[in-house]
Amino acid sequence: MFVLEAALRSFPEIAPRCYRKEFPLFVEDETLDPAKLRTPGPTREAPADRDRRVLELLEGESKPQSTRWVRSELGMSGNYAKDALVRLHGRGQVECFDAKSKDRLDDVPEGQSVLWLRVGQRGGTGVVPPVPP
């Protein structure tokens, strides 16, 4: 079943109608109520909300975490997670480290494995060396 609803500039509004597929055609079904069949589509989360969720997640972490970890913990796509982390890094709210050497990076490299940590969250675990002055 499908609901058709249209808003056209040059013509009067068309009231929502229900259609049923009877191959190869769609046939109007007046026994169905379009309001009961329509469901709102998924809403997209605003970038600011994604940034806030990432910061909250990293709040209690004392060691750097990968983009993959952030994404799996929050149920976010890889691109959304990485974009949020890059934005937060640009604002100085998270630090970026090389995944192999654990050196702090000033710029986020493309195609390189990196780890993320919220600024001021370094613990005494020795995982990340102190940043040189």
The burial class, CB within 10 Å (0-12 / 13-18 / 19+), for 127 is middle
Residues 95 and 54 in one domain: yes
pLDDT at residue number 121: 63
Residues 60 and 21 in one domain: no
Q: Residue 55, Cβ neighbours under 10 Å: how many? A: 16
Which domain does 7 fall in, by range?
A: 2-37
Residues 25 and 59 in one domain: no
pLDDT at residue number 84: 92
pLDDT at residue number 127: 39
Residues 53 and 107 in one domain: yes
pLDDT at residue number 105: 85
Q: Is the pLDDT of residue 131 over 50?
A: no
87 lies in some domain: yes
Residues 55 and 79 in one domain: yes
Residues 82 and 26 in one domain: no
**Number of domains comprising the chain:** 2
Residues contacting residue 46 through CB under 8 Å, at least 6 positions apart: none
Q: What is the pLDDT of residues 50-101, one digit of tens each?
A: 999 999 999 878 888 998 999 999 998 888 998 999 999 999 899 888 888 8
- Order of strands across the sheet that contains 114-118: 65-66, 114-118, 94-98, 104-105
Residues 87 and 60 in one domain: yes
% of the chain surpassing 90 pLDDT: 23
% of the chain surpassing 70 pLDDT: 86
- From CA 57, how far away is CA 46, in angstroms rounded? 17
Residues 19 and 68 in one domain: no
Are 121 and 59 spatial neighbours (Cβ–Cβ below 8 Å)? yes
pTM of the predicted protein model = 0.59
- Which CATH number goes with the domain that contains 108? 1.10.10.10
